[in-house]
Amino acid sequence: MIGITGASGYLGSALAASLASHTLPVVTLGRGDADRALDLGQHTGFRSALEGLSTLVHCAGLAHNRSAPHHYERINHRATMALADAAATAGVKRFIFISTLNVVPAASASGSLSAASLPRPSTAYAESKWLAEQSLEQLLGHSDCDVVICRPGLIYDHQLTGNLATLRHFAGRLPIAFPEKGERGMISRPDLVALLHNLIQRETWGQLPSRNLPVTDGESYSARRIARALGCAAGLSIPAPLWRVGGWCRDRLTGAVSGSTWRAVSGEGWTGAAPVIDGWQPRWTLETLLTDNIEGVSA
């Protein structure tokens, strides 16, 4: 059986639906309507929730900019460690951890290096994932539970979340062109789900290029390219410093962390090639997935 944490979230819900459509045995883990109760905030009772599972895909976690640093540490790092320890003792054979490409510096020569060899990230979210990756390698490295770490770039689909929703919100209200700032790797949600399918159904992980997989569609996206893909009109060009000031004002008005809007616009991330994996390759770019018709996009 395949367990999924965060099955009500953006990625987990799509993965759970896809696995179920292929008649694969899926057990959702979490609060509310999940098949089995599992509360990452408690750090207890994990082992009983994992009994009988062969593979665990850990999608749950805090992923936005409004949590305090200690909350990211508690949920994304410490709870992941408690979950991994329970998985190893419960006989789970495979553990797939959904990390983030933000743990990899933009200038890194490789997106598949161990987190231990990468510098500490500058945001609390990325730092919590960076710490979790290292702890997972130490905890499960000599156990019977095999681990693969997926580091997806910014995930896109017709339904937008996170920084993409911020960009869409901003662009839909201002008749100005986005700056030619920011370079980041991205991956479509359908392609990421297909990759997770590939990992789950492989007989062995021995042929993977790395156990730390940077997952992108192989493209590099600036803020202007993203805005165009979202169907935003070109509008009036304004200097980047005015964008920074406008972002700061939006942060104050919405209660977001200061600087978060500008980071969503100008963020620099790792933009290497898509991983080479037998039986999988990305099918989409942001433009080909969204095309010109983005009805149903949630801002």
Does the pLDDT of residue 176 top 50, yes or no? yes
13-33 average pLDDT score: 94
Q: Where are the domains of the chain?
A: 2-152+188-217+273-278
pLDDT tens digits for 235-261? 777 788 887 888 888 788 878 778 877
pLDDT of residue 170: 65
Rounded CA-CA distance 219/186 in Å is 7
Question: 2-152+188-217+273-278 in CATH: which number?
Answer: 3.40.50.720
| Maximum Cα interatomic distance, the chain, rounded to a whole number of Å | 59
**Is the CA virtual torsion 112, 61, 187, 256 positive or negative?**
negative
pLDDT of residue 261: 78
pLDDT confidence band for 164 (50 / 70 / 90): confident
Does the pLDDT of residue 173 top 70, yes or no? no
Share of the chain above pLDDT 70, in %: 92
| Cα–Cα separations (whole angstroms), residue 280 to 37, 55, 175 | 33, 19, 40
pLDDT of residue 230: 82
pLDDT of residue 29: 97
| Cα–Cα separations (whole angstroms), residue 193 to 16, 140, 159, 242, 280 | 9, 24, 15, 38, 11
Side-chain-facing half-sphere of 193: CA atoms under 13 Å: 20
Does the pLDDT of residue 266 top 50, yes or no? yes
Side-chain-facing half-sphere of 246: CA atoms under 13 Å: 18
pLDDT confidence band for 290 (50 / 70 / 90): confident
pLDDT confidence band for 289 (50 / 70 / 90): very high
3-state helix/strand/coil string of the chain: CEEEECCCCHHHHHHHHHHHHCCCCEEEEECCCCCEECCCCCCCCHHHHHCCCCEEEECCCCCCCCCCHHHHHHHHHHHHHHHHHHHHHHCCCEEEEECCHHHCCCCCCCCCCCHHHCCCCCCHHHHHHHHHHHHHHHHHCCCCCEEEEEEECEEECCCCCHHHHHHHHHHCCCCECCCCCCEECEEEHHHHHHHHHHHHHCCCCCCCCCCEEEECCCCCECHHHHHHHCCCCCCECCCHHHHHHHHHHHHHHHCCCCCHHHHHHHCECCCCCCCCECCECCCCCHHHHHCCCCCCCCC
Stated pTM of the model: 0.90
